[in-house]
């Protein structure tokens, strides 16, 4: 069951003081579920389609939702 696995992984990570990033979030319901488990970093089609690097800053400026962006890798 995906919900049980997500709950266990997030719980384990939190107990180890690790930050969790949920990937592949496709719906508001999934995002709400993850937030309720304590996962506040997410990405996926629920938030945006894949963007070219040149589109990222204008997208964030246009949404005005206060989202933070960190580059990885």
pLDDT at 33 over 70: yes
Structure-token pair, residue 4: 């049980």
Work out the average pLDDT over 12-28. Answer: 94
Rounded distance between C-alpha atoms, residue 39 and residue 9, angstroms: 10
Work out the average pLDDT over 1-30. Answer: 94
Instruction: Name the H helices within 16-52.
Output: 28-36
pLDDT at 68 over 80: no
Report DSSP state, residue 3.
Answer: H
Rounded distance between C-alpha atoms, residue 44 and residue 47, angstroms: 6
**Predicted confidence band of residue 59 (pLDDT cuts 50, 70, 90):** confident
Residue 38 has what pLDDT?
92
pLDDT at 32 over 90: yes
pLDDT at 73 over 60: no
């Amino acid at each position: 069951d995906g919900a049980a696995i997500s709950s266990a992984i997030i719980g384990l990570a939190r107990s180890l003081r690790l930050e969790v990033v949920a990937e592949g979030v496709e719906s508001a319901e999934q995002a709400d579920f993850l937030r309720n488990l304590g996962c506040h970093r997410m990405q996926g089609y629920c938030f945006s389609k894949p963007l070219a690097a040149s589109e990222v800053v204008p997208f964030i400026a246009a949404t005005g939702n206060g989202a933070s962006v960190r580059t990885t890798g």
